[in-house]
Amino acid sequence: MFQRRVALHPIRKLREALWPSMGWRRATVYVWRRVWRLSGTPHAVAVGIAAGTFMSFTPFLGFHIVVAMLIAWVFRGNLVAAAFGTVVGNPITYPPIWWATYDLGNWMIGAQSRAEVDLTATLMSSKAFDAILPVLVPMALGSLPLGLAAAVVAYFLTKGSVAAYQLSRREKLEARILKRDVSPEQEFRE
């Protein structure tokens, strides 16, 4: 029902995923409004967004949504909100996130210099995991404090905005109901 008449070519789909034709601002507003409209308490939605935001800072690509939903489930958050929260990690934000987590992780373990890894040669060798470990460990360690800080900020921003939106929506619905309760004859008399 809501599909395109002509399916997009795979290259066009990739382009849309990396750079939406509607623009990043509109795509961001769309996702944010979807978060506001999620059912559940503002706390549950905010916990979900915070879980997704936290997972976006970890270097474990491919597991972000699943682990974010698991974290949200453990803390009784909204699972759909957790999936939306992982949008914090995207092609524009990943480079600064990875740079910050790697540098913070190196600082935390006391490493003096960056690990030099030739990814092309390393990934093709039989000892790929041994060569990636010096990069993965600092990133995983550095992602913990940065991810927690971002999750706390996301929690409070989301909880406040979802609560305000839900209150506004409730008031509009109550006003509509009250307006319907008044018959046209009573409106005319007043």
- Indicate whether 164 belongs to any domain: yes
Highest mean pLDDT, choosing among 19-23, 93-97, 114-118, 178-182: 93-97
- Indicate whether 61 belongs to any domain: yes
- Indicate whether 40 belongs to any domain: yes
More confident residue, 40 or 2: 40
pLDDT of residue 185: 57
Question: 82-111 pLDDT, tens per residue?
Answer: 998 998 888 788 889 999 999 999 999 987
Mean pLDDT of 168-186: 76
**CA–CA dist 53, 120 (Å, integer):** 30
146 pLDDT above the threshold of 90? yes
- Indicate whether 19 belongs to any domain: yes
- Indicate whether 34 belongs to any domain: yes
- Indicate whether 1 belongs to any domain: no
- Indicate whether 5 belongs to any domain: no
- Indicate whether 48 belongs to any domain: yes
Which three-class secondary structure state does DSSP give residue 64?
helix
> Count of domains in the chain?
1
Structure tokens, 34: 């979807």
pTM over 0.85: no
Domain with 181, as residue range(s), is 10-189
pLDDT tier at 35, thresholds 50, 70, 90: confident
Burial class, 145, CB count within 10 angstroms (exposed 0-12 / middle 13-18 / buried 19+): middle
Q: Which long-range contacts (CB under 8 A, 24 or more apart) does 166-174 make?
A: 166/36, 166/42
Per-residue exposure over 98-118, b if at least 16 CB sit within 10 Å of its own CB, e if not = beebbebbbeeeeeeeeeeee
